[in-house]
Structure 1
Amino acid sequence: MPRKLTDERRDLVTAIADFCRREQRVKGEPHDQVVYEKMAALGWLGIAVPEAYGGAGLGMTDLCLFLEETAYGLAPISGFGTTIIAAAAYEKFGTEEQKRVVLEGVVKGRVEAISMSEPGAGSDVSALTCRADRVDGGWRINGQKTWCSNAHFADHVLLIARSSQEESRHRSLTQFMVPTNADGLQIKGIDTMGGREVNDLYFTDCFLPDSAVVGTVGNAWTQLMAGLNLERMILAALMLGVARRAFDDTLTYVRQREQFGRPIGSFQALKHRIADMATELECARLLLDDVAATIDAAPDQVFPREASMVKLKCTELAKHVALEGMQMMGGYGYATEYGMEALLRSAVVSTVYGGTSEIQRDIIGKTYGL
């Protein structure tokens, strides 16, 4: 069904689609800085950045439209997701200098990263062990972080480290702004199905001045909770775009591919699967649009149930549609030439990062008193 958009939003979607058709990358690295900076020049990367820092100052609905359309259009801008998550933390809790550096950098096409996971701590954030010890004039960081997306081409890493040994493990975490060229920080890539996307970070007596603290010492957990809406909506919007792309590519294939004298899409076994996927895509889109509008109406409120629902729905749907697409395309779905396998790789990992599907279900269940 047609999406009900204002003229301004419709124009934005059309412009993004036209841009992506010109700059589309089926193969290659997930982030192309040249393309990224072209988008910056058009003002798109600052879509959710306050006007005071050079951005457009728009809300969740506009941000989700941008994310969905760039994902659908295969734009090689993988650095944007982590950038906008980190930027929002600096906007809410950072000093004026931190805001100026990061937010103005976002508008110009700079990339930011955020690092929370460790080899022994993923879903359980309270188990973090990377240490931030007070020293004269600042902090000394020691420990390892892992699965840090985009750190290898980011300007800074928003680090969550343990700054004290208080009994309350959630009340002893602090956020730090760490330049990626800081002495004592080693960034080492992790080989994945998607290529070089994530990294191990090794901190060895990495000194950070007091000015590197983001927000309040010992308050990182509360600060992280304030950003849950944004992180989950970003991932949901990206994966809705991936799901739409996988669906459209599959539909094109089953309309054109003939076996036994007719298009394979005319066979009931495939026709009904297409119908089911189309219906689920509409449901996911309506959910995303509704939650985005809800957040825009109350931007300072956290919606744990709704944000987890939309992240769960869109990521699991993207995985399902890409798997179905690969099955319907047969050997061609497995071939790198056709791109379905790349969509599947993107979709599968989305059900893990940003809080696994199991964690999202647990959060949703807790909101019902379970």
Structure 2
Amino acid sequence: MLDLTDEQRAFVSAVADFCRREVGTGPRGAHDPELYRKVAALGWLSVAIAEEHGGAGGGMLDSCLFLEATAHGQLPIGGFNTSIIVAGAYERFGSPEQRRTVLGGIGAGDVWSIAMSEPEAGSDIAALACWAEPRDGGFVVNGQKTWCSNAHIAEGILLVARTSGAPGEHAGMTMLQVPADHPGLRISGIDTMGGREVNDLYFTDCFLPADAVVGTVDHGWKQLMAGLNVERLILAAIMLGTAQRAFDDVLGYIKQRRQFGRPIGSFQVLRHRIADLATEIECTRLLVYRTAELVDRDPGTVLPRETSMVKLKATETARRVALDAMQMMGGYGYATEYGMERLVRSTVVSTVYGGTSEIQREIIGKTYGL
């Protein structure tokens, strides 16, 4: 185990206890607003927000501890995942007023979403074409965003739109703050295997005032790059907790399930599979928290190799654990009664969102001069 402080150990224990009391061992959907407000009241949603903005002043390691514990406990607070990414952008680039209202709101339980991907701009964000035209002292937005997690439950959306240049150029992007109920914005849920957790956003002559800009006009790409450490570590910590949940559930199952007169976990083929999965999870945990410590040591340094490695390793490991667990559970792994099928769905898609595994490998390769 990592060398955590007594305060960090107590924090993890408190979060785990809360999850057991409020959720037990069964999932309760992606996001429960009532539970989310309870978590906010405990101050946990602002664990990594600076003290001057009303937060606890913790670092990336503290965020990862919280995310792993809540993912393992299956606490239905999916809105936090995008909110903490947005919080990082506002801390780095927001105006004093934006920081006060947005960061304070997130700590109190507001959900925020971020809109980057488009139908023709997924892995290649430079290809985005949603246009925010300067007009009448503000911006008029037209275009479509897609795969926007939590937009349907959000108070606001951090939009990345093009304000100059042409699709394919990194220059000319701008971050803009958009209230979720703003005129000219329509949010439409996308049906997926996990339900309606992601959305299409349609902007039609959506006027935003000049103070909607977050950071600097036309510098959105640099601002996005500054947040990569946080985004990839968030996803990695969530999948680490999810992998541990799948492992713990299947371990309990194979200890109890009997075939041929004995527990199926006593057969070598399953013992060895469990040994392999346990080793992979522990390797992932060390990588996640080592990377978080590197980020905390120098928050201003972008770590493309390390954060791509951690996102790749954590999501691929979680997917392997969940799929192997389903196989070991047989038909029960496919039944909604046991919950493993939900873990399979959430881990399979994790290798796609936030930068696919293929993109992470490309980035890692390029850091070696290839």
Cα separation, 1, equivalents of 2:294 and 2:90: 23
Matches for 1:71-90 after TM superposition, within 5 Å: 71-90=71-90
Q: Secondary structure at the match of 1:171?
A: coil
Query: Aligned AA for 2:142?
Result: N
By how many angstroms is 1:97 displaced?
Answer: 1.1
Tell me if the contact between 2:128 and 2:168 (Cα under 8 Å) persists in the aligned partners. Answer: no
Tell me if the contact between 1:226 and 1:302 (Cα under 8 Å) persists in the aligned partners. Answer: yes
Residue by residue, what CA displacement relative to the aligned partner does 1:53-100 show, whole Å, maximum 9, x if unpaired?
Answer: 211010011110000000000000001010000111011111111111
The runs of at least 4 aligned residues of structure 1 exceeding 6 Å deviation read none
Query: Aligned AA for 2:93?
Result: F
Equivalent in the alignment of 1:161: 161
Cα separation, 2, equivalents of 1:64 and 1:167: 35
Q: Secondary structure at the match of 2:45?
A: coil
Query: Aligned AA for 1:16?
Result: V
Tell me if the contact between 1:229 and 1:307 (Cα under 8 Å) persists in the aligned partners. Answer: yes
Query: Aligned AA for 1:106?
Result: I
Cα separation, 2, equivalents of 1:248 and 1:168: 45
Matches for 1:188-203 after TM superposition, within 5 Å: 188-203=188-203
Residue 34 of structure 2 is aligned to residue 22 of structure 1: no
Tell me if the contact between 2:113 and 2:149 (Cα under 8 Å) persists in the aligned partners. Answer: yes
Query: Aligned AA for 2:291?
Result: V
Q: Which moved more, 1:213-222 or 1:164-173?
A: 164-173
Tell me if the contact between 2:28 and 2:75 (Cα under 8 Å) persists in the aligned partners. Answer: no
Q: Secondary structure at the match of 2:189?
A: strand
Residue by residue, what CA displacement relative to the aligned partner does 1:303-350 show, whole Å, maximum 9, x if unpaired?
Answer: 110000001000000000000000000011000010101111111111
Cα separation, 2, equivalents of 1:186 and 1:136: 22
Residue by residue, what CA displacement relative to the aligned partner does 1:126-169 show, whole Å, maximum 9, x if unpaired?
Answer: 11010110111200000010000000111111001111125971
Matches for 1:292-307 after TM superposition, within 5 Å: 292-307=292-307
Query: Aligned AA for 1:13?
Result: V
Matches for 1:338-357 after TM superposition, within 5 Å: 338-357=338-357
Query: Aligned AA for 2:11?
Result: L
Tell me if the contact between 1:160 and 1:173 (Cα under 8 Å) persists in the aligned partners. Answer: yes
Tell me if the contact between 1:233 and 1:310 (Cα under 8 Å) persists in the aligned partners. Answer: yes
Give the number of equivalent residue pairs: 369
Query: Aligned AA for 2:235?
Result: L
Cα separation, 2, equivalents of 1:217 and 1:54: 27
Equivalent in the alignment of 2:144: 144
Equivalent in the alignment of 1:206: 206
Equivalent in the alignment of 2:225: 225
Matches for 1:310-349 after TM superposition, within 5 Å: 310-349=310-349
Query: Aligned AA for 2:233?
Result: M
Cα separation, 2, equivalents of 1:351 and 1:87: 23
Change (3 A) 1:356 1:21: same
Tell me if the contact between 1:326 and 1:341 (Cα under 8 Å) persists in the aligned partners. Answer: yes
Equivalent in the alignment of 2:4: 5
Change (3 A) 1:167 1:197: closer
Cα separation, 2, equivalents of 1:109 and 1:168: 37
Equivalent in the alignment of 1:360: 360
Cα separation, 2, equivalents of 1:196 and 1:52: 36
Cα separation, 1, equivalents of 2:328 and 2:167: 54
- Taking structure 1 as the reference length, what is the TM-score of the superposition? 0.98
Q: Secondary structure at the match of 2:147?
A: strand
Equivalent in the alignment of 2:56: 56
Equivalent in the alignment of 2:40: 40
Query: Aligned AA for 2:20?
Result: R
Q: Secondary structure at the match of 1:199?
A: strand
Equivalent in the alignment of 2:291: 291
The runs of 5 or more residues in structure 1 that have no matched partner are: none
CA RMSD of aligned residues (A): 1.1
Equivalent in the alignment of 2:245: 245
The runs of 5 or more residues in structure 2 that have no matched partner are: none
Cα separation, 2, equivalents of 1:256 and 1:223: 51
Residue by residue, what CA displacement relative to the aligned partner does 1:32-63 show, whole Å, maximum 9, x if unpaired?
Answer: 01111101100100001111121101001111
Tell me if the contact between 1:151 and 1:180 (Cα under 8 Å) persists in the aligned partners. Answer: yes
Residue 132 of structure 2 is aligned to residue 132 of structure 1: yes
By how many angstroms is 1:22 displaced?
Answer: 1.2
- Taking structure 2 as the reference length, what is the TM-score of the superposition? 0.98
Change (3 A) 1:100 1:140: same
Equivalent in the alignment of 2:215: 215
Cα separation, 1, equivalents of 2:3 and 2:15: 17
